[in-house]
Amino acid sequence: MGKLKKGRKNQKARLNPIASKSQQDLKKDESTRTSKIQPLVNKLHSTTPNEKSMALGAITILSEDARMRSLLLKEKVVSVVMQTCLNDSNDEIIVEAYGLLRNLGIEEGYDVTKYLWRQGIWTSIESALNKIDESFKFLLEKGNVEKDKSKLQLLYDFTENILSLILVLASGDESMYDSVLSKIDPILDFVLKIIDGHINRGLRVTNKLFDALLEFIYEFSTESVEFVEKLERFEHWDKLISFVNESTSSLAKVYVEGIKFNNYEVLESIHANKQVVLGEILHNVFAIVTSTDLQKLQERIESIAHPNNANEPIKKDANTLEKDLSGGNETKAETKRDLSTIEIGLSIITAVLEYLSISEDAPEKALNLSGTLQTVLFEQIEPMLVQLFKFELKANILQLGEQIVGAINNFSWLILSSEHLPVSWFEKSLQLWDIILSIQDENLQLESLGILWAIVKSLGPQIVDKIPPEFISRLQQVQANNGNANAFLNVIGLLGSIAPIVNNIEITFEISQFLINSLKAACHEPQSARNLEVIIESLNAIYDIFGDKDFDYDYPIFVQHNYLTLLRDFEPRIKEIYKRVDKSKQPHMKVKMEETWINLDRFIQYKASERE
């Protein structure tokens, strides 16, 4: 029951609406590199602590800009920082160095994280963790006698940077993830010890570090059954939940709800009713996310992204630039927390809705959603998602369009899975339909097709009048590629659901041709997992469209265009493709392809005998 590990999406690696905007000008790159970048990187070799620290701070700030980051990487800043800063005698330099490496890993992803890993960053991390652990042991044993607040803050920042860097490394690939997880026990013990000290007043840490500790648990519990099982060693969950609920940190609250869900998903058998538990989590996440004032958040984002002096920020020297950004640090930190709260909330909602739609005991049986759960879904979750969707479509201010669409998609399919479609779904689905058709961003609209597919399956002929013919034509122009794998499957599913109800034989024929052409193209390159899914969905759509000879379009299309012969010609190829799927590497796909091949053979026999 494990979750995806390989290439897991780094929660932090997302479009950042408050990051410095790149001032791209290729003509100036060489000048900038020689006048600013090289001198700063060279100063990391300095033996003067103040000079080295100032250079590191300036590099950290410059790295928020995509263009500057690219120039820094060309100067091998990662290698230089690892060589010159991680073992420095100045603790502030060490802490900031780990923070910089963490940030570069977040922004640049796999290339940087893999390089760090190959250069032995884990050895440095273990050394840092030992140092941090000793410092906390001293504070706990002595009753927090450290009077120097700056030293305490440095320790907390150090801890946060190291834990965040571990998360970033684990997001790299499967081998890195597995390696980190194999070393997680002492790190988890340390994290739980600090949380325990914080909630039991043994040693209070900053809210920022407390959030980071909860994030660490949330992220790993989202990815690993083994990790969730390790969490059972923590004896104060109830106290932690109570402590967080009484706090003012929305981010901490949403992390706790995520951890609760991850625990439930793994340990469901020992918990109470599924709909009761998950309905409560959805209600809590709704309350947390809606506590953020979107209008005020937008104003803060705009004030950070477009300060008065933003026209030429790179022309400032490093010291001035640092002062400008640090002046708004609290606003920036608050804005980041609010954005993270919304994003994590959406992630939890998306996962909970998907989990609710699955009945592992009776997967083919329709769901019976309780009245209480329906109230949460239709009076809280759906209105909140639609509000966020409309807000985002206005200006893309949160840069969370895909996440919002993902949550609405799972909501739509959950409702479709229920035994009785709630009456309120009719009007709400029509509203969603109109919103999606009005989206100007083609990529986002493409990502939203799964929602339209669910709506068509829900409403059937009732939605036909709201499907513009030009929209159907546009869908048939979509070409499958590696960048739109899931969206293309939704194109197939949506068109396949429109074809039987559109009341236009010509359109139904065009859609059937699109499906056959998609099937042909996929059969030419079956080694791609994406194409295996295209084969499965295309054939399923064809079965649905031509499932009955009494459909008014069946004879003029299926019979007169000799589709039976076409399908017979496909059958040996589908069988060959099924046989080639490696059961040990793709067991789930092997089962699906076998089912597809068997169903194709049965469908051919059925259609051959249908008019006898």
Question: What are the DSSP calls for 251-296, one per residue?
Answer: HHHHHHHHHHHHHHHHSGGGSS-HHHHHHHHHHHHHHHHTTS-HHH
| Residues 397, 17 contacting (CB under 8 angstroms) | yes
How many Å separate Cα 461 from the centre of its chain?
34
Q: 357: exposed, middle or buried (C-beta count within 10 Å: 0-12, 13-18, 19+)? A: middle
| Residues 439, 445 contacting (CB under 8 angstroms) | yes
Which of helix, strand or coil describes residue 365? coil
What's the confidence (pLDDT) of residue 140? Answer: 76
HSE-CB at 573 with a 13 A cutoff on CA atoms is 16
- Considering the entire predicted model, what is its pTM? 0.90
| Residues 384, 289 contacting (CB under 8 angstroms) | yes
Q: Look-up: residue for tokens 């339209």?
A: 452
What's the confidence (pLDDT) of residue 362? Answer: 66
Give the integer Cα–Cα distance in Å for 517 and 511: 10
What's the confidence (pLDDT) of residue 75? Answer: 92
- Mean pLDDT per 10-residue interval, the chain, length 612 residues: 35 57 60 84 91 93 90 94 94 96 94 95 96 89 68 94 97 93 95 93 90 97 92 90 94 97 83 87 98 93 72 40 45 91 98 90 79 97 98 91 96 94 94 96 94 97 96 93 87 97 97 97 88 95 95 96 96 94 91 94 95 76
**Measuring CA to CA, how many Å separate 242 from each of 84, 221, 487?**
44, 20, 41
Q: Rounded to the nearest 10 degrees, what angle do helices 174-182 and 149-170 cross at?
A: 130
| Residues 603, 567 contacting (CB under 8 angstroms) | yes
Give the residue from 43, 147, 48, 161 showing the smallest Cα distance to 101. 161
CA dihedral 255, 259, 264, 267 (to 10 degrees): 180
The first and second tokens of residue 227, run together, are: 């990790």
**How many C-beta atoms surround the C-beta of residue 269 within 10 A?**
5
Which of helix, strand or coil describes residue 367? strand
Q: Rounded to the nearest 10 degrees, what angle do helices 149-170 and 121-141 cross at?
A: 140
Give the integer Cα–Cα distance in Å for 3 and 61: 35
Q: What single-letter DSSP state applies at residue 354?
A: H
What's the confidence (pLDDT) of residue 145? Answer: 57
Query: In 109-249, which residue ranges form alpha helices assigned H by DSSP?
Result: 110-118, 121-141, 149-170, 174-182, 184-199, 207-223, 225-230, 237-245
Give the integer Cα–Cα distance in Å for 306 and 444: 25
| Residues 348, 254 contacting (CB under 8 angstroms) | yes
What's the confidence (pLDDT) of residue 530? Answer: 87
What's the confidence (pLDDT) of residue 144? Answer: 57
Written in H, E and C, the secondary structure of 313-330 is HHHCCHHHHHHHHHCCHH
Give the residue from 378, 387, 377 showing the smallest Cα distance to 427. 378
The first and second tokens of residue 269, run together, are: 């058998």
Q: Look-up: residue for tokens 């009245």?
A: 371
Give the residue from 521, 388, 1, 443 showing the smallest Cα distance to 227. 1
**Measuring CA to CA, how many Å separate 513 from each of 405, 477, 495, 518, 579?**
29, 12, 11, 8, 27
Question: What is the tens place of the pLDDT at every residue in 133-167?
Answer: 999 988 877 765 556 788 899 999 999 999 999 99
